[in-house]
Amino acid sequence: MAAKRNAIIIHGGGLVDPSKHVLMRLAKNLSGTYDKVYIGNYSFESLFTPDFINEYNDELVKKVRDKRGTYFGTCRGIDLCNSDLFRKAVMCLDERNIKTIIVAGGDGSSRQIAETNDAFMTHGINTIFPIPLTIDGINGGLSIGINEAVKESIRQIENVVSTSFQTRDNGAFGVVMVELQGRNRDDIIANVLKMFQLCGRIADYNVSELLLRVVPANFETNENVLIDEINHTFKRTLILVSEGAKERNPNLSIPKLIKGVNRKVRSLIVGHSSQSNNMMSEGDINYYNSWIDHACSIIKQISYDSFCIANIDENHLFQKPIDYYAKLNPRNGQNAQLEKYLDDLIIQYMSK
**Residue 231 within any structural domain of the chain:** yes
- 284 falls within a domain: yes
Cα–Cα distance for residue pair 224/230, rounded to 1 Å: 10
Query: Do 138 and 34 sit in the same domain of this protein?
Result: yes
Residue 126 domain-assigned? yes
Specify whether 23 is located in the same domain as 122.
Answer: yes
Domain that residue 292 falls in: 6-143+274-327
299 falls within a domain? yes
d(CA 338, CA 184) in angstroms, rounded, equals 14
Coil vs helix vs strand at 13:
coil
**Assigned domain for 51 exists:** yes
CATH number, domain of 232, equals 3.40.50.460
Q: Both 115 and 34 in a single domain?
A: yes
Please tell me whether residues 101 and 247 are part of one structural domain: no
Q: Measuring CA to CA, which residue among 54, 48, 50, 33 is closest to residue 130?
A: 33
Residues 287 and 255 in one domain: no
- Whole-prediction pTM value? 0.70
Check whether residue 114 and residue 163 sit in a common domain. Answer: no
Cα 137 from Cα 26, distance rounded (Å) = 25
**Co-location of 45 and 159 in the same domain:** no
Residue by residue, pLDDT tens for the chain (352 residues) are 345 689 998 876 544 445 667 778 888 888 888 999 998 887 888 899 999 898 998 888 777 766 655 555 566 667 787 788 899 999 999 999 999 998 877 767 777 888 888 899 889 898 887 766 655 544 444 455 566 677 778 888 998 888 888 888 777 788 999 888 765 667 788 889 999 999 999 999 999 999 999 988 878 888 889 999 999 998 999 999 887 666 666 767 777 788 888 888 888 777 644 333 344 555 566 666 776 777 787 777 765 555 445 455 444 555 666 776 666 655 555 567 767 877 888 888 898 7
Q: How many domains is the chain built from?
A: 2
Separation of alpha carbons 161 and 221, rounded Å: 23
Which string of DSSP letters, residue by residue, matches 39-101? EESSGGGGGG-GGGEEE-SHHHHHHHHT-SS-----STT--TTSHHHHHHHHHHHHHTTEEEE
| Amino acid, single-letter form, for residue 101 | I
Q: Is the same domain home to 164 and 67?
A: no
Residue 1 maps to a domain: no
Same domain? 72 vs 179: no
On whether both 130 and 53 belong to a single domain, the answer is yes
- In order of 122, 289, 332, the CA distances from 325 in angstroms are 22, 23, 13
In a domain, 15, yes or no: yes
The answer to whether residues 195 and 124 belong to one domain is no
Q: Report if residue 138 sits inside a domain.
A: yes
CATH code of 311's domain: 3.40.50.450
Q: What is the Cα–Cα distance from 181 to 249, expressed in whole angstroms?
A: 16
For residues 340 and 225, state if they share a domain.
yes
